[in-house]
């Protein structure tokens, strides 16, 4: 179009494009003036309705003659039949461009809005409603004059057929509630839209927001806006009230005309000032004040009152500032699960806003309370953000503390008392009582930390859940043994003194005499010492680096020399704090260039040990066959190695091999079993495995089949008292054991049937819970409560071995047999499918829109069930992966992944110690038969939880359901 002449208008350049037109700058060759031409977009030329609305714009706007409304010169049509409007072309910028540059000063905003209101008042007097008032449609000329543009949606009262019934023509953020709902609108919709524009011009953001259009519309219809003065405290008095009335959801409660709006706006722009006289006309009061006996006391009283008033004003201003600045900041931090930052900010706010209900509500959401005790008492306890190791410490007080309010989450603790060794540990705030035992300065061996006794060992892939012997208190090296420390052993003749080498040397089943074995442990120059040393000495500048390149035998000999021992697997797992992987791993030495100086990284665990993850791997005492365990991973290992045991030949002297020691306290010894061999189940390598054939899988599926008999379903009770959902407790017969099972159906309040429905399969903690408490104590319910609020139904079956149906079985119990596992996996399949059978009996359920939600236990078993039940349309799985241990083919999810073709959303922790990312999560995801475009893996910086990322989880889940089940009406 550029350079062409349309009629007598030469096109100079394109100015912009909107939903109803393309605008060009042009030269009027007859009158020698610059104008703007507005055309329908080519794609809309064939739309007679669009053309009719377009022409209507010109006729409506041309009837208006006002300095704040764009001048329309004529309507014409090009040779190819395209209709265009000729209007004035103004030099300047629109309000959108102005806002993109910066938020204007309030006085400037009020002047501009006043001009817009004047122009709209003129339009309303002519029965013309703009219906698309927004910053992009308001131009400010170079001389400061406002021009309202684009009456493309203008509507003459009574000409309603131009707009299709139920449509929502306009720009979403600026629509009135009645416009967003597609209801009949009048001039009051412009008052609403102008209120939105005023709000945005003053604050820099619109009052009703959302990440997508339906969320914005929901906010416009249902939610209240934040007062603009809370965002920008310096705004003139009266602005909040003006905007509050302009943005009333009910049109009858808004300003009823632009005259009313302008009247209130003018009062803000030019407030009246009332003056009063202190003295009367006769001057008697002034005369009295001149008398010392009266004047001095009065003067003192006035000064005191002024002081009190000033203090009151100061406090009021501080409170107002706190409400305007701190409360919104706290809300935002809590909304994003940044509880530590929210807690710090709230501490300041609570000093100013005492008993503020909003603040107290946020406080209860972000904090938890606990008692803090130290032995001895009188220690100062401080905390700081774990992820920011150099952040300032925040003191909680001096022990004992009966009730300390802590932010939810994981953070660093420091406990200090004069004359005692300070403690620094990483702990979550999930306890009722925190106890810390302190040791007098100089009472412990240098570089060692007291580890309080407890149940040793914990769950780790590779050996399932270890038995948990009770360990007495012991000492552990704060950091890995350094080159400098190991040099003392070498210099003391440690490689020549047989008394330190107490363990037999066995290689490939053959016993090796000590004098022969010791020759294997030489440095690069053939001298005694670690593999990377030279001349029995470590490299220059590496004294404080962990010793590496040592065999298990060398590590054990050093421990004997130092009067210590290597940790057993139970001791190491106990102190490692594996469940804090998400916090520890990012601050540890993984994936870097080499070994780091001891203690230079900040991945501190529950007991204050340094470099427990990464840097060098750490030898442990226990055997598995002829190998020994080596734990924690090293600087060059994948991060998941921290969560997974590794075994190596005790003769191995790899560069990554290091160690730390422990030492028993007093005469109490740990149970003898902790030194025994621990059977190692190596992780399955799914890259090398092949699933069973389709024929075999068909045969295996036969064991899951059941006969669909009469269910004898019954609604045991219904509770309609909930604000967001009703609960039905349902029971029905099972196809095994003559049993009946219970399920809880949650039906959304405010939504209309037939409902989309989600069937929940919870995590394994449901096996540890005694009762579902009639649907009020359901594990993993936090995974679906927001789904009900979105308008969908949720069914929560009570599966075998959970809640009231507990039978003593646990998948992770090392005493459970393959037969136990097999029987239960079959029963769970029948529980799930029978529950879906029940849903088919109901008229208020849309069986074409059925989703499966599985978490952890309910996630890794999902392929077994989804691969056999084609009634599910979509799946959402949380904290899921393939099992790292062997399982019979008929029950292995790996074999069923090829049968899962529905869309699948996976949400996992990157540092999951149950399902490691590379060896478990990826094989699960990649082997799903679902098309690439219909499966998604979302990773959070967490371990076996998604704590702290609820909002992201909600967004991902609802977006997934909306995409594949459709949004809820």
| Residue 168 pLDDT | 38
| Own/partner pairs, 668-673, CB within 8 angstroms, 24+ separation | 668/472, 668/473, 669/472, 670/456, 670/469, 670/471, 670/472, 670/474, 670/568, 670/570, 670/571, 671/469, 671/470, 673/467, 673/469
* 142: Cα within 13 Å, side-chain hemisphere: 3
| Residue 25 structure tokens | 């700058």
Q: Which of 568, 567, 553, 565 is nearest to 494 (CA)?
A: 553
Q: Are 142 and 158 in contact (CB under 8 A)?
A: no
* CB-count burial class (<10 Å; 0-12, 13-18, 19+) for 786: middle
- Cα dist from 176 to 112, 202, 242, 766, 770, whole Å: 21, 19, 16, 47, 51
Q: How far apart are CA 803 and CA 774, in angstroms?
A: 10
Q: How far apart are CA 56 and CA 872, in angstroms?
A: 50
Q: How far apart are CA 927 and CA 907, in angstroms?
A: 16
- The DSSP line for 294-344 is HHHHHHHHHHHHHHHHHHHHHHHHHHHHIIIIIHHHHHHHHHTT-HHHHHH
- Structurally, at CATH architecture level, domain 93-269 sits in Orthogonal Bundle (1.10)
Packed helices 188-203 and 106-125: angle between N→C axes, nearest 10 degrees: 170
| Residue 788 structure tokens | 């009900």
Give the single-character DSSP code of 893: H
| Residue 413 structure tokens | 């603790």
Sign of CA dihedral 779, 845, 222, 956: positive
Q: How far apart are CA 380 and CA 458, in angstroms?
A: 31
- Structurally, at CATH architecture level, domain 454-675 sits in Alpha-Beta Complex (3.90)
| Residue 615 structure tokens | 């840097």
Q: Which of 860, 737, 733, 858 is nearest to 796 (CA)?
A: 858
In the block, tokens 């949380």 appear at 878
The gap from C-alpha 589 to its chain's centroid, in whole angstroms, comes to: 25
513-535 pLDDT, tens per residue?
999 999 999 999 999 999 999 99
In the block, tokens 């054990």 appear at 556
Q: Are 609 and 615 in contact (CB under 8 A)?
A: no
* CATH class of the 708-965 domain in this structure: alpha beta
470 SS3 class: strand
In the block, tokens 């110690």 appear at 913
H or E stretch covering 874: strand 874-878
Q: Are 439 and 542 in contact (CB under 8 A)?
A: no
Q: How far apart are CA 307 and CA 309, in angstroms?
A: 5
Q: How far apart are CA 177 and CA 921, in angstroms?
A: 45
| Residue 671 structure tokens | 């149970």
Q: Which of 54, 109, 251, 173 is nearest to 117 (CA)?
A: 109
What is the longest distance spanned by two Cα atoms in the chain? 122
| Residue 875 pLDDT | 98
Query: Residue 744: which residues within 8 A CB-CB, separation 6 or more?
Result: 727, 728, 729, 730, 772, 774, 775, 778, 795, 796, 798
Q: Give the E-state strand segments of 612-692 in sequence order.
A: 617-624, 627-631, 646-648, 657-658, 662-664
Q: How far apart are CA 697 and CA 422, in angstroms?
A: 60
> Whole-model pTM?
0.60
Buried residues in 802-816 as b, exposed as e (16+ CB within 10 A)? bbebbeebbbeeeee
Query: Residue 646: which residues within 8 A CB-CB, separation 6 or more?
Result: 617, 629, 630, 631, 633
Domain ranges across the chain: 5-88, 93-269, 454-675, 708-965
* CB-count burial class (<10 Å; 0-12, 13-18, 19+) for 856: buried
Q: Which of 409, 304, 394, 386 is nearest to 347 (CA)?
A: 394
Please confirm whether the linkage preceding 745 is cis (ω < 30° from 0). no
Q: Are 775 and 744 in contact (CB under 8 A)?
A: yes
Q: Sheet containing 394-398: give its strands across.
A: 394-398, 380-385, 410-416, 423-428
175-219 pLDDT, tens per residue?
999 888 778 889 999 999 999 999 999 999 999 987 666 678 878
Q: Are 383 and 413 in contact (CB under 8 A)?
A: yes
Q: How far apart are CA 905 and CA 956, in angstroms?
A: 8
Find the angle CA(619)-CA(624)-CA(629) to the nearest 5 degrees: 15
* CATH class of the 5-88 domain in this structure: alpha beta
Buried residues in 508-544 as b, exposed as e (16+ CB within 10 A)? eeeebeeeebbeebbbeeeebbbbbbeebbbeeebee
Positions in the chain short of pLDDT 50 = 43-46, 153-170, 273-288
Catalytic residue (choose from 132, 477, 846, 912) = 132
Q: Are 935 and 928 in contact (CB under 8 A)?
A: yes
Terminal alpha carbon distance of the chain:
44
Q: How far apart are CA 962 and CA 903, in angstroms?
A: 12
Secondary structure of 575-601 in the HEC alphabet? Answer: HHCHHHHHHHHHHCECCCCCCCCCCCC
Give the single-character DSSP code of 356: -
**Residue 905: beta bridge partners?**
876, 936
| Residue 3 pLDDT | 83
Q: Which of 840, 766, 760 is nearest to 792 (CA)?
A: 760
Q: How far apart are CA 449 and CA 85, in angstroms?
A: 82
Active-site annotation holds for 837: no
Q: How far apart are CA 657 and CA 43, in angstroms?
A: 69
Sign of CA dihedral 281, 287, 290, 295: negative
H or E stretch covering 222: helix 213-222
* CB-count burial class (<10 Å; 0-12, 13-18, 19+) for 63: middle
Q: Where are the alpha helices (DSSP H) in 417-538?
A: 483-491, 514-517
| Residue 227 structure tokens | 């007062």
Q: Give the E-state strand segments of 513-592 in sequence order.
A: none
Q: Which of 858, 894, 880 is nearest to 697 (CA)?
A: 894
| Residue 910 pLDDT | 87
């Amino acid at each position: 179009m550029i350079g062409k002449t349309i009629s007598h208008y030469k096109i100079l350049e394109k100015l912009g494009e909107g939903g109803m037109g393309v605008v060009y700058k042009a030269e009027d060759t007859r009158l020698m003036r610059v104008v703007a031409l507005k055309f329908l977009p080519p794609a809309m030329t064939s739309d007679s309705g669009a053309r009719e609305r377009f022409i209507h714009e010109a006729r409506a706007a041309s009837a208006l003659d006002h300095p704040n409304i764009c001048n329309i010169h004529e309507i014409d049509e090009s040779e190819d039949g395209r209709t265009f409007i000729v209007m004035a072309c103004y030099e300047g910028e629109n309000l959108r461009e102005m806002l993109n540059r910066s938020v204007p000063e309030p006085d400037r905003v009020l002047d501009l809005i006043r001009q817009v209101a004047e122009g709209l008042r003129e339009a309303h007097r002519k029965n013309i409603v703009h219906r698309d008032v927004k910053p992009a449609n308001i131009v400010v000329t170079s001389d400061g004059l406002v021009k309202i543009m684009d009456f493309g949606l203008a509507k003459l009262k009574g000409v309603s057929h131009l707009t299709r019934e139920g449509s929502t023509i306009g720009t979403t953020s600026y629509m009135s509630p009645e416009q967003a709902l597609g209801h009949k609108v009048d001039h009051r919709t412009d008052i609403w839209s102008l209120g939105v524009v005023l709000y945005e011009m003053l604050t820099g953001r619109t009052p009703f927001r959302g990440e997508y259009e339906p969320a914005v519309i929901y906010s416009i219809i249902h939610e209240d806006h934040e007062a603009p003065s809370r965002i920008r405290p310096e705004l003139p008095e009266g602005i909040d009230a003006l905007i509050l009335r302009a943005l009333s959801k009910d049109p009858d409660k808004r300003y009823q005309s632009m005259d009313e709006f302008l009247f209130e706006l003018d009062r803000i722009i030019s407030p009246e000032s009332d003056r009063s006289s202190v003295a009367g006309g006769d001057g008697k009061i002034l005369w009295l004040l001149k008398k010392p006996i009266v004047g001095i006391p009065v003067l003192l009283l006035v000064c005191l009152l002024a002081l009190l008033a000033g203090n009151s004003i100061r406090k009021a201003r501080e409170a107002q500032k706190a409400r305007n600045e701190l409360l919104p900041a706290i809300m935002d931090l809590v909304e994003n699960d940044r509880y530590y930052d929210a807690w710090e900010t709230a501490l300041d706010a609570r000093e100013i806003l005492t008993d503020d209900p909003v603040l107290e509500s946020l406080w209860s959401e972000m904090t938890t309370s606990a008692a803090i005790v130290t032995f001895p008492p009188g220690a100062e306890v401080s905390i700081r953000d774990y992820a920011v190791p150099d952040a300032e410490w925040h003191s909680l007080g001096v022990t004992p503390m009966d009730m300390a309010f802590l932010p939810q989450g994981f953070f660093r603790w420091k406990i200090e008392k004069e004359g005692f060794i300070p403690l620094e540990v990483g702990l979550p705030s999930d306890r009722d009582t925190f106890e810390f035992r302190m040791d007098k300065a100089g009472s412990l061996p240098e570089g060692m930390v007291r580890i309080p006794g407890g149940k040793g060992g914990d769950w780790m892939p590779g050996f399932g859940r270890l038995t948990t012997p009770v360990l007495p208190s012991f000492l552990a090296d704060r950091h890995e043994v350094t080159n400098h420390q190991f040099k003392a052993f070498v210099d003391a003749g440690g490689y020549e003194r047989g008394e330190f080498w107490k363990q037999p040397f066995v290689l490939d089943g053959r016993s090796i005499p000590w004098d022969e074995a010791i020759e294997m442990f030489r440095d690069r120059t053939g001298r005694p010492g670690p593999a990377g040393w030279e001349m029995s000495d470590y490299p220059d500048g590496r004294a404080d680096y962990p010793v590496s390149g040592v065999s298990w035998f060398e590590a054990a000999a050093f421990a004997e020399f130092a009067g210590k021992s290597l940790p057993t697997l139970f001791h190491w797992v106990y102190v490692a704090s594996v469940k804090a992987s998400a916090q520890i791993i990012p601050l540890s030495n993984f994936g870097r260039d080499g070994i780091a100086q001891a203690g230079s990284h900040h991945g501190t665990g529950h007991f204050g040990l340094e470099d427990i993850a990464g840097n060098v791997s750490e030898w442990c005492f226990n055997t598995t066959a002829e190998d020994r365990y080596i734990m924690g991973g090293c600087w060059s290992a994948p991060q998941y190695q921290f969560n997974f045991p590794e075994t190596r030949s005790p003769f191995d002297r790899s560069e990554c091999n290091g160690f730390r020691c422990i030492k028993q306290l007093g005469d109490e010894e740990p149970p003898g079993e902790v030194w025994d061999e621990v059977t190692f189940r190596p992780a399955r390598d799914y890259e090398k495995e092949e699933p069973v054939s389709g024929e075999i899988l068909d045969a295996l599926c036969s064991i899951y089949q059941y006969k669909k008999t009469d269910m004898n379903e019954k609604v045991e009770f219904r509770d309609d008292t909930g604000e967001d959902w009703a609960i039905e407790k349902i029971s029905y017969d099972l196809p095994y054991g003559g049993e009946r099972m219970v399920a809880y159906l949650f039906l959304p309040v405010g939504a209309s049937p037939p409902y989309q429905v989600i069937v929940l399969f919870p995590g394994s903690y449901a096996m540890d819970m005694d009762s579902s408490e009639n649907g009020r104590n359901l594990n993993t319910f936090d995974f679906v409560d927001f789904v009900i609020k979105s308008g969908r139904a949720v069914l929560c079956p009570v599966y075998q071995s959970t809640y009231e149906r507990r039978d003593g079985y646990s998948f992770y119990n090392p005493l459970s047999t393959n037969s136990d596992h097999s029987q239960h996996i079959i029963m769970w399949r029948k529980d799930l499918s029978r529950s879906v059978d029940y849903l088919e009996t109901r008229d208020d359920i849309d069986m074409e829109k059925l989703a499966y939600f599985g978490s952890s236990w309910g996630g890794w078993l999902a392929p077994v069930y989804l691969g056999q039940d084609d009634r599910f349309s979509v799946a959402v799985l949380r904290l899921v992966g393939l099992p790292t241990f062997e399982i019979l083919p008929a029950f292995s999810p790996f074999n069923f992944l090829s049968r899962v073709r529905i869309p699948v959303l996976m949400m996992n922790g990157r540092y999951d110690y149950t399902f490691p990312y590379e060896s478990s999560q990826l094989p699960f995801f990649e082997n799903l038969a679902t098309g690439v475009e219909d499966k998604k893996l979302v990773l959070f910086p967490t371990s076996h939880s998604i704590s702290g990322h609820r909002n992201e989880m909600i967004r991902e889940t609802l977006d997934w359901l909306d995409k594949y089940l459709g949004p809820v009406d």
